[in-house]
Amino acid sequence: MAGFTQEEYEKAKEVDLLDYLMSNGYNLKKVGTNEYTLKEHDSMRINPIKNTFFWNSRNVGGSTIQFLQHYEGKTLVEAIKTLNGESITNYIKSNDKPKIDKDVLEEEKGDLILPERNENNKRAIAYLTQARKIDHEIVNSLIKSGNIYESKEKHNIVFLGMDKENIPKYAMQRSTLTNSSYKGDCENSDKNFGIRLKGKDDSKVYIFESAIDMMTHATISKHLGKDWKFDNRVSLGCLSFKAMDSFLEDNRNIKELVLFLDNDDAGEINRNKLYRQYGNDYKISIVNVKNKDLNQTWQDYLKDKDIDSNVKFNSYISYVEKPFLPPKLKENQDQLVEYICKMLIDENIKTSKIRYLFNSVVKNSCTLAETQDDKAIILIKDEEGVEIGGYEFDIYNKDYELKPLPKTKEEPILFLGREGKEVKENGIFLHTNIITPLYWASTNTCNTGYTNNIEDLSNIDFIMNKTENIKTIVLCPEGDIDFKKQAKDENSQVFKALREKEEKYGIKIVVEEWEKDLYKSFLKEDYIKKPFIPKEVGNNEELYSLLLQKSNIPKNRLIEMFKENHIYQDVDRNMVFLAKDENGQNIGGYSLDIYNKAPQLKKLENTYISKDKEIETINFATYILKNTSNSLEIEQVEEMEI
């Protein structure tokens, strides 16, 4: 291992994450029986039993080493060196050393301390209706329900978030003075209980940063002639996701979220975080307002409408294009790590080398991981570590073609040296398959990368902007393509463009010929996809007659399935179920010895199909079996009407 020894790496792996955080001054808070968070980042979850963390807003997690990389911004070497410092024995798990009492992290909140109520709410009502232009009916309704009141001493508006028993658990004050911007939470407020306007709808919720924006939305609904009590609305209390989690937990039927966050940098960042956190489970719409927030936009609209009565409020808002949404990842990545180790030909590849790829491929800009639907994925990140795109491939079905995920800008994926430094004479090899660079990266042999378009010379610019000290770029097209010929033809535009890039960056560009499918030489035999060849067709009339007489499948549908070759009888009298790709090509199947008294379903050799197709095929075979196994004698063999 470059930069550290195997012993140092093993020691760093043993460091207790919770002890490390406590000893280094992190502000921890217990949020569950075996779960902690950081007060500065409440989307962080730390599990002391598993010795892992998961940062929900960034969709990353791992061990203590990964925490130092993702949260503290350290390289792998820096993280391991830090964890191998003089005080490492303070953090290594041991039954013999005294442990810091983690119960001190259990933050016991006292009762919510609320300011004394004023005898009336005149100033609060005047501020909300006159200064903020919120409808009187809505303000009075919230006062009556106990969600807002006016404080006695300073005449602030107090907004309350209630629990299920309608007991206040969260409170936020806002000044009613027009020249004051004061606002703040009351002591012992619990952000799990956001300020809500519960509606009649059980499928959708509108989400706002502030309670005033939430009330403004209700006002706009009434202005547009709608029932303002129909919609659910939640104020996040200065963007605490806890209020969102709590509302969704209490309202399991919600299917859609509509985000109305502020029109500023913080609002954009947080609406993207919300989208990434909830986008895989809910339909989400993101709305942008014309002014800083919804209330200011509403006031602008009212002023403009006084001048032009034809002004429509819809022209003051717009729907925002959604950012890239990473798929859900498995918490444990061991299965994919071990699989990659087994599939590559080099027996010396260790899991520790593969794990490096799961943390940071190039300067924290890429991550290799496994999704919850068993796909391998390479996530592309920006300078802030936020995922902005990705590619997936069906690795367990031996399909190594990278497919870009929606909203991914298709740029090269680079695998550099272990610490993000270039190796092997400052050169980089760019390939058109993922296996070859994956192999080179796991052996740390050379700088390498992947592109889906080797002929796109903007790849050169991308590499030079992403790396330092690169002197040679080797483009590795596979098979007999015209690009290779043009690259060597001094009269071609490709040749001239390559020379211009060389002069621009002071580098050497080489086009090196690679045989088609050469990547297979880096894979063990069992991991190379072989063609699916179904068995020869047998007596289809016999199977057709059985299904026609014994199943409930309509005759026209049955004929269609035979005609489209979804089912048939092979020469061994097995019923075969074929799975096809989007082009109608056979990619696998199952056989059922349907005439046997105890029929069994078997996957055919070289079947590579997705989990969805597999489930679909098995369910259909099960349906056939249930409807035919009681009586397998055929009354009469009928000729198929095909």
Judged against a pLDDT cut of 90, whether residue 467 lies above it is answered with no
Cβ neighbours around 608 below 10 Å, total = 18
Q: Does domain 6-105 have CATH number 3.90.580.10?
A: yes
Return the percentage of the chain with pLDDT > 90, whole number: 41
Output the 3-class SS for 394-458.
CHHHCCCCCEECCCCCCCCEEECCCCCCCCCCCEEEEECCCHHHHHHHHHCCCEEEECCCCCCCH
* The residue to which tokens 């001493």 are assigned: 153
Supply the pLDDT for residue 466.
84
84-98, 179-193, 262-276, 287-301: the lowest-pLDDT one: 84-98
9-13, 108-112, 142-146: the lowest-pLDDT one: 108-112
Average pLDDT estimate for 144-161: 94
Tokens of 395: 């690795």
Asked whether 123 and 156 are in contact (CB, 8 A), the reply is no
Average pLDDT estimate for 471-479: 91
**pLDDT for 196-245, tens place per residue?**
999 999 999 999 999 999 999 999 999 999 999 999 999 987 666 778 88
More confident: 574 or 73: 574
Q: What pTM, to 2 d.p., does this model score?
A: 0.70
Burial class (CB in 10 A: 0-12, 13-18, 19+), 467: buried
34-48, 411-425, 507-521: the lowest-pLDDT one: 411-425
Q: Identify the band that residue 640 occupies on the pLDDT scale cut at 50, 70 and 90.
A: low
Per the document, the length of the chain is 642
Supply the pLDDT for residue 279.
93
Domain boundaries defined on the chain? 6-105, 122-319, 334-525, 540-628
Give the separation between CA 624 and CA 541, rounded to whole angstroms.
17
Tokens of 237: 């209390």
Asked whether 572 and 539 are in contact (CB, 8 A), the reply is no
